[in-house]
Structure 1
Amino acid sequence: MLSRRRLLVLGGLAGGAALTPMTRGLFTETAQQARPMHVHDHGGRVPAVRSGATAAPFTVAMPVPPVLAPTLSMPGLDLYRLSIQPANAEILPGLTTPVLTYGGQFTAPTIRARQGRRTLVTFDNKLGHEANVHLHGGRVPAASDGYPMDLIADGKSRTYDYPNAQPGATLWYHDHTHHMEAEHVYRGMHGFYLVEGADEQQLGLPAGTYDVPILLRDALFDDKGGLVFDPADPYNRPTLLANGKAQPYFRVAARKYRLRLLNGSSHRVFELTLGDGAEMTQIATDCGLLPAPVQVTKLVLSSGERAEVVVDFGSLPLGGQVILNDVSGPVMRFDVVRRALDRSRVPGELRAMPLLAAATQTRQLTLSLDPVNIRALINDQVFDPNRVDMQVKRGSSEIWQVTNSDTNVGGSGFGVPHNFHTHLAQFRLLDRDGKPPLPGEAGWKDTVLIQPGETVRFQASFGDYLGRYVYHCHMLEHSALGMMGQMEIVS
């Protein structure tokens, strides 16, 4: 059982942890230069480095996860099959790392679906214990959502039904076994699920091999290359991975690329910059395209969040290099190795954003850690699968006000960030502490970062399906301790 001190470490509050007092804000690992924390400055926290196996940066190539082929296709429907199984991966050069996977690969194969075309995905559990699958960002029936208690027994199979009746977006699939979700995801149970929108082809965005999904995450290795999972110390994961390789390089042509960035960590917040602050063109957030492109020099992604950017390498000479950096250090390097014809573009308008319907209800939720009883809470309650926390009418639109009350956990003087993810429902941010959201947050989302003391308001749409769905902090070590609630969609 976790001690009080271990829970403080989990929140980043004790020992060598990296969270700083609210009066100090972020600091870099080298200079430890303090700067104030701003409402919209959602930066990550620098992990304290623990000894273990590492790799020199930019010595291995970044792979692109293979696209999974259907086992059968018929009009309006594609069928897929994947195993849930242990495997070995070479994450660090020359070392073998035991991992847990979908399809035996770290990172799992990508499923590319089409808007309006249904997919049935069968998962065969060969893991040795129970597991399940959640399509993060998917608007799916409750029976296919990957409810935390709805598990696939070892040796059994389950077919998930994904209608794909939603606009194109970068989704991902991962484990959601309650109390085990953080470790399962950390050990490799994650992969991309890309819904190709009916409106995207006409936009002329980079496509084909120039449309690249990149799963970013962190890890800590022992001396033999094994993954070290310590749920009470998630900040001590100093090795940064891109598509399952430690600080890799990726060879690109001198032209535009569409990069689909996913924070697949169980806990870390990434604060990403390109080179010395070069501009990136953000075109999408969690649930699809923005109304219009936004020029950004920094992307902040908490666990589970996605952003799509177009980066033009055309101005770089052959042999040119540019590094994608996190606040804690380099993530990966892009190497320009050839020239290529580029007919792609980024139009000034991407996807129309309709006016929000009138909200039918406003709800208030408060996130907090309880270090005395070693719990993580929503509205002072831990998750109970036998309790329905709210009933929501199908087809309704509601405003949720979510507050992170953890400004001084356990009297430590430290604040803890949280984030918030809704199953089924997608939402649009209204404000942060009464201030408008950033332009890059203008689209539909399913996950949002909430800083200590911050209140976020969003309006969510509850269409499509009936049944029980959860909402929770997507810093998975927190949800595993109970920071999760349950809603029932009713007619």
Structure 2
Amino acid sequence: MANFLVFGLVFFSTLFTAAIAGDSEWLSPVYTEFYQNPLPIPQDKPVKYQYTNPITGKVIKYFEIDIKPFQAQVYSKLGPVNLVGYDGMSPGPTIRVEKGEETVVRFVNRASMANSVHLHGSNSRAPFDGWAEDLTQPGQYKDYYYPNGQRGRTLWYHDHAIEHTAENAYFGQAGLYIMHDPDEDRLGFPKGTYDVPMVLSSKQYKSNGDLFSPASETVSLYGDVIHMNGQPWPYLKVEPRKYRLRFLNAAVSRAFQLYFEKDTKTGTKLPFTVVASDSGLLSTSVSASTLEISMAERYEVIFDFAAYANSNVTMRNNRDVQADEDYNSTDKVMKFIVGGNVTDPTNNGAVPSALSTLDTPAPKSTVDRTFKFERSGGEWVINGVTFADVKNRILAKPPRGTTEVWQLENNSGGWSHPVHIHLVDFQIISRTGGKRGVLPYEAAALKDVVLLGVNEKVKVIAKYAPWDGVYMFHCHNLIHEDHDMMAAFNVSALQDFGYPETTKFLDPMEQRWRSKTIDPAMFTEEYITGTLLPMFSGLDAYGSEDKIEKALDDYYKTRTTGPVAAASTVASSTTARTSSSTTLSTFSTITSAAKTSSSSSTKTTSKTTSTTTKKKD
């Protein structure tokens, strides 16, 4: 018995020592410039052209963004890092729009790899949603047409290219897109320089100072260098007053549990107020001392620095977040240097308790669909299906306008999965099986991403509207996504709906909206304001959203039987092999070609387990 006790003590001592060693090691070159560099603020993108429909008065604003390579200096004594970003910066420029003003954003690929762009959080029509196989090759451009008709919110635009999303986003293709709703102004939240974007990421570097590539990674890339707005461990000088901090977790694989502490009183977590999430304002403000934010989630908090004048506040990250790996300094994030004077006292009042009325779906107890997120045979799968399985990847066909409850299950062992459902805002109903329930600020929110933790089951409810068409849902650990933990759902057209829509947008790969070769004639002011924007304005793609929502509500109120899905839906044509775009078969037949053509890089698509994140260069 004594021998067994000795063996047990040695065994657990070894495990403990290994854990400590793992937390203290670096994968990247040792970084020493903590809190020595200022927090960069992404610049706003100016509107290039604007068009007003002479009949409806609707405004469309036009932006133009080049995807191109650039260099940055991360380690002062090593070589530069080679990146590819929107307008040659990372994060990309912030696009700011007013609710109700439509936009056309032209993304021009002047880089060496194919891309696709997803405006995350927008209920865009299917051809403009960033379908993974809707690729823009080098030397091409695509015009993305966005509605901006939802509640005000912090969105973000990022790459969504088949099998290369992790590479493209990790090397720089991510930026904020902030939609302002005038209704928010009544709340008196901090504005201007007191409204600060906070884009989190976590990366790994090679010995020469360049980025380690996720190209051959198949499990996760947690990274050991924490960035905020592209700068490792920065500082921000603030005044002793309230600030609105807009958090986005743009990391490839790392979730965060953020908290604040005063430098002279470490170990005590400071209070703040959560006011918004993925889909805009919470119903009520929520007091918190820790913010859990997984990949692709957004949260907005009001932090009051008034009590910390002439001192420092450090933002930190808990260790042991879900199944993520910790390294030497992954518990540090950034520092706030609090001054002694307030130069502008406006928009600095108390945070209201009641914030907004959420458009939540009618309660429903039955589960309509169950999706299991698993690892099987070296692949990441949903219900045993990968995105490469073209004939079977449409896993749901909710009729347009119906409300469904989806149960998401994590059966993959030691991993967590932030699940993103395109098109819709959903409400989290329950979370069971893991270490936590629905968090208070989740319960007060509408979301488009939910963290499915280790061994958890999560129920979400959403109304599949306003548009019909094919959309994606997937894990937002980008390594998992690239290795096929992605599927599709078809919001099925209603055969007897009867609403007169002038243009349909069912097929995300409809040829009319595909990328085009760069032609200088298509970039002139005359063409864009005289032809392109009037064409989009005339489609009435988004102008009738409220009317369509009401018509859908009326449709279901008057029915005594179930909805009648159209006979020729996208889902029924995914295996068709014709070339006509009207048969909605393009996006199914393009798969193999898209995967081949997207490989402008030398990425390996092996599905075997990788351990590259645990190796030093």
TM class by smaller structure: 0.7 to 0.9
Is residue 376 from structure 1 mapped to residue 360 from structure 2 by the alignment?
Answer: no
Q: Which residue of 1 aligns with 2:440?
A: 439
Query: How big is each residue's C-alpha offset from its partner over 1:321-357, in whole Å with a ceiling of 9 and x where there is no partner?
Result: 1011012321111111342232323212111124522
Structure 1 segments, 4+ long, off by >4 Å, are 27-32, 45-48, 358-361
Provide the C-alpha distance between the structure 2 equivalents of 1:483 and 1:226, rounded to a whole number of angstroms: 29
8 A contact 2:28–2:225 mirrored in 1? no
Provide the C-alpha distance between the structure 1 equivalents of 2:40 and 2:355, rounded to a whole number of angstroms: 29
Residue of structure 2 aligned with 1:284, choices 261, 272, 276: 276
Q: Percent identical across equivalent pairs?
A: 32
Matched letter for residue 439 of structure 2: L
Q: Which residue of 2 aligns with 1:260?
A: 246
Is residue 72 from structure 1 mapped to residue 49 from structure 2 by the alignment?
Answer: yes
Q: Report the alpha carbon displacement of residue 125 of structure 1 after superposing the two structures with TM.
A: 0.5
Give the secondary-structure state (helix, strand or coil) at the position aligned to 2:398. strand
Q: Which residue of 1 aligns with 2:312?
A: 321
Q: Which residue of 2 aligns with 1:410?
A: none
Give the secondary-structure state (helix, strand or coil) at the position aligned to 2:368. strand
Residue of structure 1 aligned with 2:158, choices 174, 183, 189: 174
Provide the C-alpha distance between the structure 1 equivalents of 2:153 and 2:86, rounded to a whole number of angstroms: 21
Q: Report the alpha carbon displacement of residue 390 of structure 1 after superposing the two structures with TM.
A: 1.7
Provide the C-alpha distance between the structure 1 equivalents of 2:161 and 2:17, rounded to a whole number of angstroms: 35
The alpha-carbon distance between structure 1 residues 365 and 450, as it changes in their structure 2 partners (threshold 3 A), is same
Q: Which residue of 2 aligns with 1:271?
A: 257
Is residue 89 from structure 1 mapped to residue 72 from structure 2 by the alignment?
Answer: yes
Query: How big is each residue's C-alpha offset from its partner over 1:122-155, in whole Å with a ceiling of 9 and x where there is no partner?
Result: 0100112211100111110001100000011110
Q: Report the alpha carbon displacement of residue 53 of structure 1 after superposing the two structures with TM.
A: 5.3
1:182-261 correspondence runs (5 A): 182-230=166-214, 231-232=217-218, 234-235=220-221, 237-261=223-247
8 A contact 2:272–2:287 mirrored in 1? yes
Decide which moves more: 275-284 or 353-362: 353-362
1:42-121 correspondence runs (5 A): 49-52=26-29, 54-75=31-52, 76-93=59-76, 95-121=79-105
Q: Which residue of 1 aligns with 2:361?
A: 356
Matched letter for residue 69 of structure 1: P
Provide the C-alpha distance between the structure 2 equivalents of 1:347 and 1:233, rounded to a whole number of angstroms: 43
The alpha-carbon distance between structure 1 residues 347 and 358, as it changes in their structure 2 partners (threshold 3 A), is closer
Provide the C-alpha distance between the structure 1 equivalents of 2:373 and 2:74, rounded to a whole number of angstroms: 35
Residues paired across the two proteins, number: 444
Provide the C-alpha distance between the structure 1 equivalents of 2:197 and 2:17, rounded to a whole number of angstroms: 28
The alpha-carbon distance between structure 1 residues 28 and 260, as it changes in their structure 2 partners (threshold 3 A), is farther
Q: Which residue of 2 aligns with 1:308?
A: 300
The alpha-carbon distance between structure 1 residues 439 and 482, as it changes in their structure 2 partners (threshold 3 A), is same
Q: Which structure has the highest helix share of the two?
A: 2
Provide the C-alpha distance between the structure 1 equivalents of 2:296 and 2:42, rounded to a whole number of angstroms: 18
Q: Which residue of 1 aligns with 2:427?
A: 428
Cα RMSD (Å): 2.2
1:465-484 correspondence runs (5 A): 465-484=467-486
Q: Report the alpha carbon displacement of residue 289 of structure 1 after superposing the two structures with TM.
A: 0.7
Q: Which has the larger radius of gyration?
A: 2
Query: How big is each residue's C-alpha offset from its partner over 1:375-423, in whole Å with a ceiling of 9 and x where there is no partner?
Result: 001001111344422212222211000000123xxxxxxx221121001
Matched letter for residue 421 of structure 2: T
**TM-score, length-scaled by structure 2:** 0.69
8 A contact 1:423–1:469 mirrored in 2? yes
Give the secondary-structure state (helix, strand or coil) at the position aligned to 2:104. strand
Give the secondary-structure state (helix, strand or coil) at the position aligned to 1:135. strand
Provide the C-alpha distance between the structure 2 equivalents of 1:386 and 1:131, rounded to a whole number of angstroms: 24
Matched letter for residue 139 of structure 1: N
8 A contact 1:92–1:245 mirrored in 2? no
Provide the C-alpha distance between the structure 1 equivalents of 2:181 and 2:453, rounded to a whole number of angstroms: 32
Provide the C-alpha distance between the structure 1 equivalents of 2:236 and 2:75, rounded to a whole number of angstroms: 16
Q: Report the alpha carbon displacement of residue 279 of structure 1 after superposing the two structures with TM.
A: 0.6
**TM-score, length-scaled by structure 1:** 0.86
Provide the C-alpha distance between the structure 2 equivalents of 1:469 and 1:273, rounded to a whole number of angstroms: 35
Q: Report the alpha carbon displacement of residue 436 of structure 1 after superposing the two structures with TM.
A: 5.8
Q: Which residue of 2 aligns with 1:453?
A: 455
Any gaps of 5 or more consecutive residues in structure 1?
1-22, 33-44, 408-414
Provide the C-alpha distance between the structure 1 equivalents of 2:302 and 2:168, rounded to a whole number of angstroms: 31
Q: Report the alpha carbon displacement of residue 472 of structure 1 after superposing the two structures with TM.
A: 0.4
Query: How big is each residue's C-alpha offset from its partner over 1:8-66, in whole Å with a ceiling of 9 and x where there is no partner?
Result: xxxxxxxxxxxxxxx9xxx999869xxxxxxxxxxxx9696314252421010011100
Q: Report the alpha carbon displacement of residue 361 of structure 1 after superposing the two structures with TM.
A: 6.6
Q: Which residue of 2 aligns with 1:40?
A: none
